[in-house]
Amino acid sequence: MIVGIDTGGTNVDGVVLDGSGICGTAKVPNTETRASIEEVIEALRDACDRFSIDRVVVATTLVVNAAVQNRLPPCTNLVIPGPGLAPDRSFFGAENHVAAGAVDHRGRITEPLEYDQEPTYDVRAVTAKFSDRNPELERELTANFETDPQAVALGNESGAGLTFPERAATTVANARAKPVFSAYERAVEQAIAEAGLEAPVYYLKGDGAMLGSEAMRTTPAHTIRSGSAASALGLVALTDMDDGIVVDIGGTTTDVSRIANGFPDREPDVSEGTLETAYSGITATSLPIGGDTSIEPTDSGFGLADERAGDAAALGGDVPTLTDALHVLGIFQAGNVADASAALRSLGGEPEPIAETILSEFEQRVGAAIESIQVEGPSPIAVGGTLAPILGPRLAEAHEAVTEAKIPGYADVAGAVGCGVARVSVDTAVHIDSHRGIKTITAVGSERVDSVQTGRQFTDKEVRQIVAEAAQDAAIAAGGEPNKPVQIQTTDGFSVVERGTVVGQIINARARVAPGIERWFEEGSP
């Protein structure tokens, strides 16, 4: 059994999946990480007859929120560029130091490390050019720090297939995200222990795959877009959508994402606030409007304030929200209509026209977001969130770009379902230099350097086998299960010739366990 937990700005949603489908759901207010997660697990335990959990998968928007609100710590970015283009192409820190030393394209250390400055900040990123061919200089520099910094991220641990500037930016992002994520991760571990679970914990990446907690602690910038990825995966799983748009209407935000060939579509280089990464993430737009968004007077009337104020007045809150507008219009009746009406009136106008203006603004902005990421004209949408049954059909009615709105069962916990159906997938790069007798494997986490027989020649079949195994191993190291299908992305090799003799071979290959969805559901039924 798998527990999926989606921690959003308003609620923490949970589901329990077993071999036959969803056996329990829960929704609790997001107050404090540890308490809320413990509470949601307890609620799930109560909802299920049997509760034997094999893993817990969590999606969090915490790093993203901290980045957007400028709450991440500054970082000293230490680069070891060696010869080449100007080092400032890789300056992504609040402070940037250049250390002497060089690794060349063969992974040889051609110049020794020299660094005698003192970093100002306690959060540090260390990135060498070609560290994907030899991580030694990065490790040496880190080992020489006089005091133990609060957080250190190394370029060779940041992932496969990155260029030097990309690796530096991504490593800075990981270093800066580490303190916030680590604190969160500890709270999750504690909550799960308190709730009496012994299952391993995974975190959803922004590309819709997941990582084990250790791998995510190393590369927490991977959580950018993980909230959108969770709901997109969940809505795909719940509706069996092949191509279209998914809309997840939460309390604080509404996420609009594109689905292509039965999986969330992805794009490279996702960034958030001052965090720049070269990681890929799902193609998504996150609008700062949801059910709890407050209503405010504007120059021309009334509008959505683009921030969450708390619960709707109809549900005991203080400030009028979108949810109150729905109450006033009589299309959603979960709370007290009179309170909703009074709250809107307090803004200085008749409640009904205000409510109509607000609802139409919401529909118009979500419609514009849908159109902005559609690639081939009108398409179906799948809608998640508590308000999905209310607002989904209206979106289809209001916009020609929407051919139909699918509202699956469990739409209100779609993000948690998405967590439960994710798979471990890690980009993996293998570089073999049999002249030097080495093989380097770059994935998430510490780079592996193995030896190979000097001078050995590999057939294409052997290369494919090696990279497929490396991708499997990397996925398993990141918490994945064995025997998942592997996609081999590239393989390339050539001979090394020295003084007229073939002395070895250089091979570059990349592969990954295919990202995928582990369980499918019939539309609307468990």
Partner 1 sequence: MTMGLVYHDAYLRHEHTPTHPERRERLQYTMDQLREEGVLSDPAVEELDPFEVTDEQIYRVHTPEYIERLRSMSATGSGRLSADTHVSEHTWSTAKLAAGGVLRGLEAVAADEVETAFVMSRPGGHHAFADDGHGFCYLNNTAVAIRHLQATTDVESVLIWDWDAHHGDGTQSIFFDDPSVLVMSTHQDGRTLFPGTGKVEEVGSGAGEGYNVNVPLPPKTDDEAYLEVVSEIFEPIAEQFDPDLVFVEAGQDNHFTDPITDLGVTAQGYAALMESAVEVADGLADGDIVASLAGGYGIEGGLPYTNLAVIATLLDFETKYIREPAIYEPPTETPDVSDVLERVREAQAPYWDLP
Which chain residues interact with partner 1 by CB under 8 A? 81-87, 89, 102, 104-106, 110-111, 129-130, 163-166, 494-497, 500-502, 506
Q: Which amino acid does the sequence have at 149?
A: P
CA distances from 297 to 149, 224, 320, 342, 344 (A): 48, 33, 11, 15, 10
Judged by CB, which is closer to partner 1: 183, or 502?
502
Give the number of residues written for the chain: 526
Smallest gap, in angstroms, from Cβ of residue 118 to partner 1?
24
Residue 57 near residue 237 (C-beta atoms within 8 A)? no
Judged by CB, which is closer to partner 1: 105, or 186?
105
Smallest gap, in angstroms, from Cβ of residue 95 to partner 1?
20
Smallest gap, in angstroms, from Cβ of residue 166 to partner 1?
7
What the block records as the tokens of 288 is 């700062």
Judged by CB, which is closer to partner 1: 369, or 506?
506
How many angstroms from the chain centroid is the CA of residue 219?
11
Smallest gap, in angstroms, from Cβ of residue 110 to partner 1?
3
Smallest gap, in angstroms, from Cβ of residue 153 to partner 1?
19
Smallest gap, in angstroms, from Cβ of residue 269 to partner 1?
9
Residue 73 near residue 179 (C-beta atoms within 8 A)? yes
Which helix (H) or strand (E) is 396 found in, with range?
Answer: helix 388-398
Smallest gap, in angstroms, from Cβ of residue 504 to partner 1?
11
**Taken in order 104, 107, 110, 114, is the CA torsion positive or negative?**
positive
How many angstroms from the chain centroid is the CA of residue 477?
19
* Euclidean distance between CA atoms 143 and 210, whole angstroms: 30
Smallest gap, in angstroms, from Cβ of residue 323 to partner 1?
44
Closest CA to 258 of 285, 223, 287: 285
User: Strand pairing of 109-114 and 123-128?
Assistant: unpaired
Judged by CB, which is closer to partner 1: 46, or 88?
88
Smallest gap, in angstroms, from Cβ of residue 507 to partner 1?
11
Judged by CB, which is closer to partner 1: 226, or 442?
442
Judged by CB, which is closer to partner 1: 87, or 264?
87
What the block records as the tokens of 95 is 């402070």
DSSP bridge partners of 124 = 76, 152
Smallest gap, in angstroms, from Cβ of residue 90 to partner 1?
8
Smallest gap, in angstroms, from Cβ of residue 130 to partner 1?
6
The DSSP annotation for 96-147 comes to EEE-EEEE-TTS-EEEEEE-----SSSEEEEEETTTTT--HHHHHHHHT-SS
What is the three-class DSSP state of 36?
A: helix
Residue 193 CB neighbours (<10 A)? 11
Judged by CB, which is closer to partner 1: 29, or 84?
84
* Euclidean distance between CA atoms 105 and 508, whole angstroms: 12
* Euclidean distance between CA atoms 53 and 452, whole angstroms: 41
Smallest gap, in angstroms, from Cβ of residue 392 to partner 1?
39
* Euclidean distance between CA atoms 79 and 169, whole angstroms: 11
Closest CA to 70 of 281, 275, 252: 275
Judged by CB, which is closer to partner 1: 172, or 478?
172
Strands (DSSP E) along 385-481, which ranges?
Answer: 402-406, 428-433, 438-442, 448-451
Judged by CB, which is closer to partner 1: 193, or 502?
502
* Euclidean distance between CA atoms 496 and 456, whole angstroms: 11
Residue 373 CB neighbours (<10 A)? 14
What the block records as the tokens of 495 is 């001979």
Smallest gap, in angstroms, from Cβ of residue 223 to partner 1?
24
What the block records as the tokens of 21 is 């489908």
Judged by CB, which is closer to partner 1: 60, or 505?
505
SS (H, E, C) 33-81: HHHHHHHHHHHHHHHCCCCCCCEEEEEECHHHHHHHCCCCCCCEEEEEC
Judged by CB, which is closer to partner 1: 161, or 367?
161
Judged by CB, which is closer to partner 1: 327, or 435?
435
Closest CA to 67 of 280, 285, 205, 272: 272
Judged by CB, which is closer to partner 1: 1, or 128?
128
